[in-house]
Amino acid sequence: MWTEEFLEYLKQSTIKESHFEEAIAFKQQHLPKRIYKYRSDNPYARENLTSSTIWLASPDSYNDPYDCLLRFSGSTMISAFERGLIDPFVTGFKLQIPADKINEAKQSAAPLETLSRNIIGVRWLSYSRKSCRNMWRVLSRFCKL
């Protein structure tokens, strides 16, 4: 069935080499042109027809708790969060960093770690107080005040 091939596109995707667009294009080829929803004849159904709208239930009212369950690994969420922090971090500290190094950090699985290692030359993503002081000391050398 076509769904297995669709899932293979998704499984092959990585941060560096995404096959997401190919997967979506492949899926579009196999979707039906029309979807029918059968409803009983009542005032709400007639209103939907006259206003060209459809009624959809809230996920809170679904009888299957997994209908709208989205799962993301912790590392995926952390990477996405860090990726969103890079631009504000660089502009907020007024760091002079080449665009290729910023893009390299954004593409990595550990964006802030990569940014610090490639640009500053140290690993600072540790949670001890001493390493935080060291991080700010090193970063202050790169900031324009």
* Tally of domains within the chain: 2
Judgement on whether residues 80 and 133 belong to the same structural domain of the protein: yes
Is 67 a member of any domain?
no
Q: Which domain range does residue 47 map to?
A: 2-61
Weakest mean pLDDT among 50-64, 73-87, 98-112, 122-136: 122-136
pLDDT score of 88 more than 80? yes
Is 68 a member of any domain?
no
Q: Tokens 């009624």 belong to which residue?
A: 55
Boundary-marking domain end, from 11, 28, 61: 61
**Average pLDDT, stretch 112-138?**
59
Judgement on whether residues 86 and 133 belong to the same structural domain of the protein: yes
The model's pTM: 0.39
Structure tokens at 43: 């005032």
SS3 33: coil
Judgement on whether residues 82 and 138 belong to the same structural domain of the protein: yes
Judgement on whether residues 100 and 136 belong to the same structural domain of the protein: yes
Q: What is the pLDDT of residue 126?
A: 44
First to last CA, the chain: 61
Boundary-marking domain end, from 13, 40, 61: 61
Judgement on whether residues 94 and 119 belong to the same structural domain of the protein: yes
Judgement on whether residues 82 and 57 belong to the same structural domain of the protein: no
Judgement on whether residues 96 and 135 belong to the same structural domain of the protein: yes
Q: How far is CA 77 from CA 80, 82, 83, 126, in A?
A: 5, 9, 10, 18
